[in-house]
Structure 1
Amino acid sequence: MLFVNVSVGGMLTAYAAPPVLMVAAAWGWDSAFMAAQFGWKAAIAVLVNATGLLLFMHRKLPKHAERNDAPAAAVPVPTGVTLIHTGFLVAVVLSAHHPVIFIGLLLFFLGFTQAYEQYQSPLMLRESLLVAFFLGGLIVLGGLQQWWLQPVVASLDAYALYAGALGLTAIMDNAAITYLGSRIAGLPDQAKYMLLAGAVAGGGLTVIANAPNPAGFAIVHKGFHDGSVSLLGLLIAAVVPTCVVSATLLLL
């Protein structure tokens, strides 16, 4: 459910998730458009999924959560450090289309976290680089797939396109699906909607279905007995939340 909600939450704005970023500029979709066409539906789906899980699991949740893994005396984080982190986050969003400024901000952020590491959680650089290299390879090589993708997509109706995007996302990553779709000329508006909706709805089916999933897996895998997540178990657990998302996107 976590992976599904993270994927769907990426539709709230035009820059919140890789699959949306891949098409926002190409199709002229800004954050206002995303909020009007997708965002409110995504919010409803997230609320329904989270509420349903809470009702289903409330008897198994302890009344007072125990934090046995928490340090005995955590170092309080100064307000200034929190404000600097927030400032970096805002600056990165504003400079997303200016690589020189973005790289400069990244270097300053790495230096800041190194200088004040007692107030920082360890940076997940390996997971971030894996996502970055994947998306970079997608941009470089994705255009070469247009020759076979365009006739296939053109032959599908809207609902078949939604189902195909949802299914392929589980094995290809949803950013790959939407990027390849953005390379197709003359795609109707309904097909654009169905392509993005299907790709994002399937973002929780597998670990590779959505770029943030590996980072999320690195955080939550410690809660499992052997430190690993069953692929089949993840798929089965994601079926109901994915159906909720599909119903929200297709029926509302």
Structure 2
Amino acid sequence: MLGEVEIVFGFWAIALILIFFSLSGKNETLSYLNNQSYVEPIFVFVIMIIAASKPVLDFSLTSVRAISRLLPIHKSLSLFFITISFVPLLGSFITEPAAMTLGALLLKDHFYSKNISNKFKYAIIGTLFVNVSIGGTLTPFAAPPILMVASKWNWDLTFMITTFGWRTALAVFTNSLILTLIFKKELANLEEPNIKPSETPLFILLLHLILLIGVIIFVHDLILFLGIFLIFLGIANSYSQYQNKLIIKEAFLVSLFLSGLVVLGGLQKWWLQPLLNQLTPDQIYYAATALTAITDNAALTYLGSLVDGLSDQFKYALAAGAVTGGGLTVIANAPNPAGYSILNKNFENNIISPLYLFLSALGPTIVAIFFYKFI
């Protein structure tokens, strides 16, 4: 666990608290910590675990299977197109980490396990990372960079759909269509995939979906969504035969990262305010897109939310830029390491080249820039 990228912010936060305690004493330290809001990091922990549970993933897989059958084309092409497009958009409802997990598993089982070219492998993962990064922006709770600012900036479901959602859908489908057409011959040569129907009982499936919806409805009510989470844990334990291993470690790491970000971010306003006030919305969009490649996109948006007096155009540019660049590197977006760990064994020497990943994601990123900036 100590080798995980997300752990760094946790250690920095602990170091800050210890320094704060030694210099200012117990009362001031506790006062500072108690004045921060940890609802979003805890919510991410809860919803990641529920959304990535086997019944919810089975429901998502069944949906993918049903939709892919409706397309009047070769089944390999239809399954691939739906996996690389619909699944990332589904992330707006089951969360981006769950969408990344589902998409990567489908791609591994039905495409990476076949004899596809190395060029196609990189094109897939580059497009997947970009589509998942932007695909969670139809709702205010699924993408960490949006979740961390949605409450403060009053971005509700209506705002997300009308401002981000339609642009996101167009970008995701354009990326997916281009990729499918480029590798059409290679996909058509693959044997038709066979997705087995879910064996999860209907009442278990419905129960998990109800709990997931309940957590989403009470996203800002810590006590209520924690109570729902406890009910989920009880059900998961009672019907363990219908569960895979819960992703507690992965959810903890993302939550730790966001919590550390909250603790550290509270003291950054002094230099952020004058810096951001010097930038135009266009400048911050491209700066956020570029910086996301070397830091997590949730860090950028959260730090930006600490600055007072930002215009609506500036807020949109910051968030849009952060999600646009989320596929350029493994560390750019919190769900990327999950996709990396699932797919890396299908590459030469079990390594995904950072350079080839960046180059593969560059095209889909440019498409996202076009829709977010010029449409």
State the TM-score, normalized to the length of structure 1. 0.91
The answer for the alignment partner of 2:54 in structure 1 is: none
| 1:118-150 CA-partner distances (Å, limit 9, x unpaired) | 222322221111101001111121121111112
How far did 1:74 drift? 8.5
- CA shift, 1:222, in A, is 3.8
1:190-205 correspondence runs (5 A): 190-205=313-328
Determine the C-alpha separation between the residues in 2 that align with 1:167 and 1:100.
Answer: 38
Gaps of 5+ in 1: none
- What is aligned with 2:191? 64
2:355 counterpart (232, 243, 248): 232
Residue aligned with 1:172, SS: coil
- Aligned counterpart, 1:33: 159
Aligned partners of 1:75 and 1:119 also within 8 Å:
no
Query: Can you list the C-alpha shifts for 1:70-99, whole angstroms capped at 9, x where unaligned?
Result: 9xx998211111111211210110122122
Q: Which residue of 2 aligns with 1:149?
A: 272
What are the residue-to-residue correspondences of 1:214-233 with 2, within 5 Å? 214-233=337-356
For residues 300 and 183 of structure 2, what CA distance do their matches in structure 1 show?
A: 34
TM-score by length of 2: 0.62
Tell me which of 238, 241, 254 is aligned to 1:115.
238
Which amino acid letter does the alignment assign opposite residue 26 of structure 1? Answer: K
Map Cα deviations across residues 39-88 of structure 1 (whole Å, 9 max, x no partner). Answer: 10000000001111111122222442457xx9xx9982111111112112
5 Å-filtered alignment, 1:3-18, equals 3-18=129-144
Aligned residue in 2 for 1:128: 251
Counterpart Cα distance in 1 of 2:190 and 2:320? 37
Match status 1:20 vs 2:146: yes
CA distance in 2, matches of 1:97, 1:224: 41
Structure 1 position 12, deviation (Å): 0.7
- How many angstroms apart in 2 are the aligned matches of 1:100 and 1:91? 12
Q: Structure 2 CA distance, aligned partners of 1:79 and 1:175?
A: 36
User: Aligned ranges for residues 49-128 of structure 1 at < 5 Å?
Assistant: 49-61=175-187, 62-65=189-192, 76-128=199-251
Paired position in structure 1 for 2:373: 250
Distance in 1 (alpha carbons) for counterparts of 2:301 and 2:260? 14
Measure how far apart 1:223 and its partner are.
3.2
Deviation at 1:167, TM superposition (A): 1.1
Aligned residues: 248
In the alignment, what sits opposite 2:73? none
Matched letter for residue 191 of structure 2: H
Offset at 1:183? 0.7
Q: Secondary structure at the match of 1:144?
A: coil
For 1:74 and 1:23, locate their aligned partners in 2 and report how far apart those are by CA, in whole Å.
38
Cα 1:129/1:202, change in 2 over 3 Å: same
Range that drifts further, 39-48 or 203-212: 203-212
Q: How many angstroms apart in 2 are the aligned matches of 1:79 and 1:2?
A: 30
Q: What's the CA shift for 1:18? A: 1.1
1:194 deviates by 0.9
User: Once superposed, which parts of structure 1, at least 4 consecutive aligned residues long, lie more than 3 Å away?
Assistant: 225-228
Secondary structure of the corresponding residue to residue 122 of structure 1: coil
**Pairwise CA RMSD:** 2.0
* SS of alignment partner, residue 92 of structure 1: helix
Cα 1:80/1:220, change in 2 over 3 Å: farther
Separation of aligned partners in 2, 1:216 and 1:110? 25
Evaluate the alpha carbon distance shift between residue 224 and residue 192 of structure 1 in structure 2; reply closer, same or farther with a 3 A threshold. Answer: same
Equivalent position SS for 2:268? helix
Identity %: 48
Structure 2: any 5+ residue segments left out of the alignment?
Answer: 1-126
CA distance in 1, matches of 2:244, 2:182: 32
* Structure-2 separation of matches of 1:75 and 1:49: 29
CA 1:75–1:165 in structure 2 vs 1: closer, same or farther (change >3 Å)?
closer
Instruction: Give me the whole-angstrom Cα distance separating, in 2, the residues matched to 1:127 and 1:236.
Output: 27
Residues 127, 214 of structure 1: 8 Å contact kept: no
**Larger helix proportion, structure 1 or 2?**
2
In 1, Cα distance between the equivalents of 2:220 and 2:316? 24
Paired residue for 1:158? 281
Among candidates 158, 173, 177, match of residue 47 of structure 1: 173
TM-superposition CA deviations, 1:6-27 (whole Å, max 9, x none):
1111211222211111221211
Kindly provide the CA deviation profile for residues 185-224 of structure 1, in whole angstroms up to 9, marking residues without a partner as x: 1112221111111011011111121122222323333433
